[in-house]
Amino acid sequence: MARRRDIEGEDIPKAKISKESLKEALVIFKYLGPYKKTFIGGLVFIALSAGSTMTFPYLLKALIDSAHGTATGPLAYTPGAIALMLIGVLAVQMVFSFMRIYLFTFVGEHAVADMREDIYKKLIMMPMSFFAQRRVGELSSRITADVGQIQDAITGLLAEFLRGVFTLVIGIVAILWISPRMTAVMLSVVPLVIVIALVFGRFIRKISKKVQDQLAESNTVVQETLQGISNVKAFSNEWYELGRYHNNISAVVNTAISNGRYRGLFVSFMLFSVFGAIVLVVWYGVGLMQAGNLSFGDLTAFVLYTSFVGVTMAGFAEIFSQLQKTVGATQRVRELLREDTEDVAVEDVKLENEYRLEGNVSMRHVAFSYPSRKEVNVIKDLTLEAKSGQQIAVVGPSGAGKSTIVSLLLRFYEPDKGLILFDGRPASTIPLSQLRKQIALVPQDILLFGGSIFENIAYGKPDATEEEVMNAARQANAHDFISGFPEGYKTMVGERGVKLSGGQRQRIAIARAILKNPVILLLDEATSSLDSESESLVQEALTNLMKNRTSFVIAHRLSTIRSADQILVLEDGRIKEAGTHQDLMANEDGLYRNLNKLQLFEN
C-alpha cells in the first residue's frame, strides 16, 4: 500500500479525475524529462522485482511438494536444491528492490527540487496585487504540501501502481494455471469482500473526520480563552467558557461513540469475511486434493497468490484516492506556474546606463484603487512635481493614502488613471528592476531577516565589502550600538538572536538604504514609533541619508519636516494644501497650521 507522508498535517483536497485533469497532471513528466534514463531504469527494476516476488509462491509449492516426491514439471528437484533456488530468488529480489527504491528516490528528489525552485521563482516574482488576494499559508503549501504530494506520486504511487498491475496479471494467471475451478470460486468471493470493505471503510473515515473537526472546534475554545485569559477573568466568564467547552466536548463524545459502534461492526465483519473467504477457498481446495486433482503445494501456492491478488486489489483503491489528490495538487501547481510574473531582470550594465535616473519625479492626475477593493478610490486625483534632490514631505491623517503613494512610486501597483514620470519618462517604460534599483524604501515596520546584522545591512547591496557596510552603519548612527554587542556585526537578529529595539531596527534599515545609495528615497513614517532619544539619532541619520537625493518623507511628527522643499497635505486621496512650511503656516484656517497647533500640545 502506498506510504503516506503527512506534510505538516495538511489535508490535500482531491480532484475529479477527467481527461483534462489527467492531462494537466502530465506536468509531472516535464520535470522527469532530464532524468528520463534513470526513471526508465527504475521502471525496469519494478517489473523485475514484481516478477521475482511472484515466483516465490511457485518455488515454495515446489519445495513443499518435493517432500512427498510429488513434485512434477520443470522443478522436480531435491528439497535442498529448491530451497537454494528460493534463497537465490530472494537475494536477487533484494537487489531489485534496492535499485527501484534508490532510482525512484533519485529521480523524485531531483524532479521535485526543480519544481520547487520553479514555483518559488514564480511566487517571488509575482506582482503585489497577487499577494493581496491570497494567504501566505496557502501559497507556501503549494511548495510544501502540493509538491510533496507530487513527489510521493513519482516515488511511491507510480511504482505501487505498476507493481500492482504486474502482481495482478501474474497472480491471476498463476492461480488460473494452478486450478481454474478454484480461481472461479476465489474470484467470486474475494473482490466482493474487498468492495464491501472499501465502501464501509470510506464511511468510517468520513465519521472519524467529523470527530476530528469537532475536537478541533473544542480546541479553538481552549486557545481563544487562554490567549485572551485576561478578558475571560475581567468579565468573570470562567463558568460561561466552561459551559461552552462542555458542550463541545459532549458533541465529540457522542460522535466518537457512535463512530465506535460502526468501527466495531466493521472490524468484526471484516474478520469474519476475510477468514470466511479463506475457509471457503481452502475447503474447496481440500475437496480437490481429496479427489487427487491438487497437491498440497498447489494449495499453498494458490493461497499465497490469492493473498497477493487480494492485497493488490485493495491497494488499488488507495492508489486511486492518492491519484485524485495528486491531480488536485498538479492543477494548483499548474495554475500558479501559468500566472504572469513581474519582469524581474538580471543584472545588465547596458540597461543600467540607459535608465540611470537623476531623480525628477512627477505624478500627473493619478487615480488609484487597490485591486482587492476596487470600489474604494484611495487616490483620487494626485499631481505632484519633485525636482532632483528636493525633499517632499507628505502629511495627513491615517488612511489618507500616504503609503499608497509610496507603493505607486515603487510600482507595486499601476495607477488606474494618470501618469507617473521619472525624469520625464513614463514609469511604465522603465524596466522594473532598473527603477527599483534606484529607489530605497525605509518603511515604518521594518522586517529584519533572520541572519546577522551584517547580512541585514548588506541586503541593500549584496556584494558590499565589510568597509562599506561599516561606513553605512556609521552614517546611520548604528555603528556604536552594533559594536557594543559582544559579537558585533555578526550578532544574529530575530528569533534566534538579539531582539533589537524599534530605534535600532530603524537605524539598520537606514544603513541598508544608505548602502544601496539610491537616487530616490522613500521614508514612510520612519521615525513615528521612536522615543525621543533614538528619534534624534535616527533623525540625524535620515538627514545624512537625504542629502543629494530626491526624497519623499511621510512624517507623523511635523517638527521633522519644517525644512522640506514642499509639504503636501493629503486628505481623502487628494492634495488639500501644498507649499513650504512658511507658505502653509501663513494660511490662518489651513489644515497644516491647525495640525501644527495640535501637535504643539501633544509634545
The nearest distance, CB 524 to ligand ADP, in angstroms, is 7
User: What is the identity of the amino acid at 250?
Assistant: S
Q: How far apart are CA 463 and CA 516, in angstroms?
A: 11
403 binding Mg ion? (CB under 5 A): yes
In the complex with Mg ion, the residue whose CB is nearer, 152 or 524, is 524
In the complex with ligand ADP, the residue whose CB is nearer, 331 or 403, is 403
The β-bridge partners of 417 are 367
132 binding ligand ADP? (CB under 6 A): yes
Binder of ligand ADP out of 4, 36, 373, 562 (CB under 6 A)? 373
The nearest distance, CB 373 to ligand ADP, in angstroms, is 4
The nearest distance, CB 504 to ligand ADP, in angstroms, is 24
Q: How far apart are CA 512 and CA 82, in angstroms?
A: 76
User: What is the identity of the amino acid at 309?
Assistant: V
Q: What is the largest CA-CA distance in the chain?
A: 119
445 binding ligand ADP? (CB under 6 A): no
* Among the residue ranges 298-306, 344-352, 366-374, 426-434, the one whose residues contact ligand ADP (CB under 6 A): 366-374
Q: How many CA atoms lie within 13 A of 394 on its CB side?
A: 29
**Kind plus residue range of the DSSP H or E element containing 552:** strand 550-554
- Nearest-CB residue to Mg ion? 403
In the complex with Mg ion, the residue whose CB is nearer, 132 or 199, is 132
Q: How far apart are CA 366 and CA 405, in angstroms?
A: 10
| Binding partner of 310, given ligand ADP, Mg ion, none, CB within 5-8 angstroms per partner class | none
Q: Which of 406, 411, 408, 413 is nearest to 525 (CA)?
A: 406
564, 557 Cβ separation under 8 angstroms = no
411 binding ligand ADP? (CB under 6 A): no
**Kind plus residue range of the DSSP H or E element containing 521:** strand 520-524
The nearest distance, CB 403 to ligand ADP, in angstroms, is 3
Integer-rounded Cα radius of gyration of the chain:
36
| Binding partner of 399, given ligand ADP, Mg ion, none, CB within 5-8 angstroms per partner class | ligand ADP
The nearest distance, CB 371 to ligand ADP, in angstroms, is 8
For 190-253, the three-class secondary structure string (H helix, E strand, C coil) is HHHHHHHHHHHHHHHHHHHHHHHHHHHHHHHHHHHHHHCHHHHHHCCCHHHHHHHHHHHHHHHH
In the complex with ligand ADP, the residue whose CB is nearer, 378 or 584, is 378
Contacting ligand ADP within 383-402 (CB under 6 A): 398-402
In the complex with ligand ADP, the residue whose CB is nearer, 128 or 187, is 128
404 binding Mg ion? (CB under 5 A): no
The nearest distance, CB 123 to ligand ADP, in angstroms, is 18
Q: How far apart are CA 168 and CA 174, in angstroms?
A: 10
In the complex with Mg ion, the residue whose CB is nearer, 151 or 403, is 403
Number of residues that bind ligand ADP (CB under 6 A): 12
In the complex with ligand ADP, the residue whose CB is nearer, 154 or 509, is 509
| Binding partner of 401, given ligand ADP, Mg ion, none, CB within 5-8 angstroms per partner class | ligand ADP
Q: For residues 543-575, b (16+ Cβ closer than 10 Å) or e, as one string?
A: eebbeebbbbbbbbbbebbeebebbbbbeebeb
Q: What residue ranges bind ligand ADP (CB under 6 A)?
A: 132, 370, 372-373, 378, 398-404
Q: What residue ranges bind Mg ion (CB under 5 A)?
A: 403
